[in-house]
């Protein structure tokens, strides 16, 4: 089970990628969607992120690096391996064997934002927006 905030961000990320006919949805799509959520913004600001710069650079990165599905081709947007890893970790951390407090902490949007920031293949881990501590 994922938090409602994270579900909203996931849906928003998928919808944006689908609407733009992106061939892939990546952790960058999810991070961009999280920038519309106050809980994630609080976590990112605590890490020293400039939200406006991050949004602008993520949008540019996604547009420059994400292949577009050609017009007339019927194909669904597919998650990248990095995106799948983030979701798998969330689902694994939310197994029914864990206690309720742990479940609430690890299925939250802020926790997921932190995990995205630590993905080695994520755009933000390669930029000045990444925390060095």
Please give the pLDDT value at position 3: 78
Please give the pLDDT value at position 127: 59
The DSSP line for 19-67 is HTTBSEE-HHHHHHHHTT-HHHHHHHHHTT--HHHHHHHHHHHHHHHSP
CA distance 23 to 50: 28
For the cut 90, the answer to whether the pLDDT of residue 94 exceeds it is no
CB atoms within 10 A of CB 17: 25
Q: Are 107 and 94 in contact (CB under 8 A)?
A: yes
Domains and CATH numbers, the chain: 4-125 (1.10.1780.10)
CA distance 26 to 78: 9
> What's the Cα-to-Cα distance from 34 to each of 14, 22, 74, 76, 109, rounded to whole Å?
12, 18, 28, 22, 8
Q: Report the share of the chain in percent with pLDDT over 70.
A: 67
Comparison of pLDDT for 115 and 101, the residue scoring more: 115
pLDDT in tens, 42-88: 988 988 889 999 999 999 999 999 999 999 999 999 999 999 988 88
For the cut 90, the answer to whether the pLDDT of residue 116 exceeds it is no
3-state secondary structure (DSSP) of residue 78: strand
pTM of the model: 0.72
Q: Report the share of the chain in percent with pLDDT over 90.
A: 48
For the cut 80, the answer to whether the pLDDT of residue 102 exceeds it is no
């Amino acid at each position: 089970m994922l938090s409602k905030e994270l579900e909203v961000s996931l849906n928003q990320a998928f919808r944006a990628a689908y609407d733009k006919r992106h061939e892939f949805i990546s952790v960058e799509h999810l991070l961009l969607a999280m920038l519309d959520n106050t809980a994630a913004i609080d976590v990112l600001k605590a890490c020293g992120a400039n939200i406006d710069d991050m949004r602008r650079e993520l949008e540019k990165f996604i547009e420059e690096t994400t292949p577009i599905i050609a017009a007339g081709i019927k194909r669904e947007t597919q998650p990248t391996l990095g995106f799948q890893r983030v979701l798998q970790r969330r689902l694994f951390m939310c197994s029914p064997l864990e206690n309720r407090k742990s479940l609430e902490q690890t299925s939250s949007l802020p926790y997921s934002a932190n995990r995205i920031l630590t993905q080695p293949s994520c755009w933000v881990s390669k930029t000045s927006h990444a925390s060095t501590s």
